[in-house]
Amino acid sequence: MLVESIVNRRHVLQRNPNFRGQPYPCEGEPGDREMGLLDDCGKLTPFIDRIVFSLEKESVPLMGKFLQGYYDVPQVDRGDYGVAMRVAAGDSADKAALYQERGLQLRSSTEASVYYMGFNWRDPVVGRGDTPEQQEKNRKLRQAVSIAFNWEQFVSIFQNDEGQVAYGPVPPGVLGYQEPPAGLNRQVYTLENGRAVRRPLDEAKRLLSEAGYPDGRSAETGKPLILHFDSAGGMGSSAMLDWMRRQLAAIGIQLEVRATDYNRFQDKMRNGSAQMYMWGWVADYPDAENFLFLLYGPNAKADNGGENASNYKNPEYDRLFEQMRFLDDGPEKEALVHKMVAIVQADAPWMFGYFPKSGGAYQSWVGNAKPTQMVRNTLQYYRIDPALREQKIKAWNAPLWWPLWLLAAALAAGGLLAWRVARRRDRASAVTGSDLSRQS
C-alpha cells in the first residue's frame, strides 16, 4: 500500500498486512526455469516489505547511484536503461568488465509493441488508388519502398540492435506470431539457407518501374517521384531522417521530410493529410486483436477517430477481423490471424518496422527479475538480499581521501608563494637601482 507520495520526488509502497498474498507463478516462458525464475513457484508474494521509488530527473546521477548500489533497479516503468547498459557493455570492454565485476544482471526480452512506418491509404500516390490498375501500381510502389527500407540496418544503427525486425504486425509472444520461414514477409524477403534475406534493390527498381516510375520518374510526366515523410519531431535534419532519405534515394525516389512537433503531427494524422509516417503501438493486452485492430477499416483515424492511422481498408481483412476478435485463443483464431497477416503483407499498408526490446538492469542481490512492459505487476515477485546489498554498498563506496591532502598541500604551497611575493614587494624600495644610477 502507498504510505508516502511526494509528486516528482518519492513514493513509498509498504506491505499491506491484510493482503492475502498471491502465489508465485509456476509456469513461464522458455528459459525461465533454467534461469531460476520459477524457483519460488507457489510461494506467497510479495517478497519485499517496502519499496521506495525515487525520482531522478537526470540520467547521470541515476546511473551513478545505481552503479554505486544505492538503487536496486534503475528504472521500473520502462526498459531504456537496461537497453543502454547492454549496448554500453557491447561497445566498451571496460564497461562490460565493470558490470561483470558488480555482478549486474542485464536481461532483455522482445516487447509486445511495434514501431512501424505507415502509408496513408487515402493518399493518391502511396494509398489504395482509385482504379484497379492504379491500386496495383500503388501496391507495387509500396512494396518497392518496403524493400528499399532496410530495417535490419535501422535497428542496428538507431536501436543499437535492441529490437527485432518485424515481418508482420503481430509481435512474438502473442498468439498468431510466426517465426520465419512460416511468418516471413515474402513480399519483401526471400529465404536463403533458412535465413530471411531482403529482396535486392534491382527488384525494388523493377517494381517501381511497373508502378509507373521507371528510375524514380513518372512515366507520364517525367517528373521525379517525391514522397513525403511526416516526421513527428526534429527539424528535418536528424541522422535518422538522413538515413531514410538515403534508403529511398537508392532506388531513385526523393524523400521530402515534413517535420513538425508532435501536436501538429497528431493533427495531420487526424485529418488524414500525412503521406508516410512512423508511429508505434504498445499493446494494452497480449492479444493479436490489439495489433490487428490498428488496420481494421472502421477504426480509420481520419474517418472515425480510431487507431487505424493508415486509414487502411480491405473488406476481406475486416471480415476476418470481425470473425477473429471475440474468439478465444486456439487453432481457429491462430489460423485467422495468419490469414490477416498475409493480407496486410501483400497490401503493404505498413512497413512493419521492428518490435523493440526491453532491457532490464538489476543488482546481483535482486532476484526473480525479468524485463517486460506488458506485465506491470512484477514488483511483487522481486526478491532482495539486504545483507549482500549492505556489504556491496560499503565495499564499493569507500571514500578516497588522499587527494584531499594533496589539495591541502597545494593550497599551502600557493599560500606560501603568495606570502613570499607579498613580502618581497613590501620590502622593495620605491626607487630602483637603475633609477639611482640615472640620477647620478
Partner 1 sequence: MTRYIVRRLLYGILILIGVNLLTFLLFFAVNTPDDMARLSIGGQRVSQSAIERWKSERGYDKPLFFDAQASGAQKWTNTIFFTRSVPLLHFDFGFSDEGRDIGNEISQRMGPSLALAIPTFLLGLFVCISFALLLVFFKGTPLDFAGVVICVVLLSISGLFYIIAGQWLFAKILRWVPYSGFVDGWGSLRFLVLPVLVGILSGLGAQARFYRTLFLEEWGKDYVRTARAKGLSERVVLFRHVLRNAMLPILTGTVSAIPLLFMGSLISESFFGIPGLGSYTIDAINAQDFSIVRAMVFLGSALYIVGLILADISYTLADPRVRFE
Cα 244 versus chain centre, distance: 18
6 binds partner 1 (CB under 8 A): yes
389 binds partner 1 (CB under 8 A): no
266 binds partner 1 (CB under 8 A): yes
Half-sphere exposure of 228 (CA within 13 A, CB side): 14
2 binds partner 1 (CB under 8 A): no
325 binds partner 1 (CB under 8 A): no
Residues in contact with partner 1, shown as a per-residue x/- string from 55 to 74 under the rule CB under 8 A: -xxx-xx--xx--x-x----
Asked whether the beta carbons of 178 and 189 are under 8 A apart, the reply is no
Q: Which is nearer to partner 1, 7 or 93 (CB)?
A: 7
Asked whether the beta carbons of 343 and 316 are under 8 A apart, the reply is yes
Closest approach, Cβ 226 to partner 1, in A, equals 28
404 binds partner 1 (CB under 8 A): yes
Taking CB under 8 A as the binding criterion, the range among 32-40, 125-133, 328-336, 395-403 that sits at the site for partner 1 is: 395-403
Taking CB under 8 A as the binding criterion, the range among 20-28, 41-49, 261-269, 367-375 that sits at the site for partner 1 is: 261-269
Question: Can you tell me which of 418, 432, 435, 436 binds partner 1, judged by CB under 8 A?
Answer: 418
Closest approach, Cβ 41 to partner 1, in A, equals 35
Asked whether the beta carbons of 104 and 363 are under 8 A apart, the reply is yes
321 binds partner 1 (CB under 8 A): no
In the beta sheet, which residues pair with residue 119? 276
Question: Can you tell me which of 161, 203, 210, 307 binds partner 1, judged by CB under 8 A?
Answer: 307
Question: Can you tell me which of 93, 399, 428, 431 binds partner 1, judged by CB under 8 A?
Answer: 399
Measured in degrees and rounded to the nearest 5, phi and psi for residue 245 equal: -60, -40
Taking CB under 8 A as the binding criterion, the range among 100-108, 232-240, 280-288, 341-349 that sits at the site for partner 1 is: 280-288
Closest approach, Cβ 251 to partner 1, in A, equals 33
Q: If we measure between CA atoms, which residue out of 426, 286, 277 comes closest to residue 351?
A: 277
3 binds partner 1 (CB under 8 A): no
Nearby residues of 234 by Cβ (< 8 Å), 6 or more positions away: 241, 259
What is d(CA 46, CA 182) in angstroms, rounded to the nearest whole number? Answer: 41
Q: Which is nearer to partner 1, 8 or 440 (CB)?
A: 8
Site for partner 1 in 363-382 (CB under 8 A): none
Task: Provide the binding-site residues for partner 1, judged by CB under 8 A.
Answer: 6-9, 54, 56-58, 60-61, 64-65, 68, 70, 261, 263, 266, 281-282, 284, 305, 307, 397-400, 403-404, 417-418, 421-422, 425-426
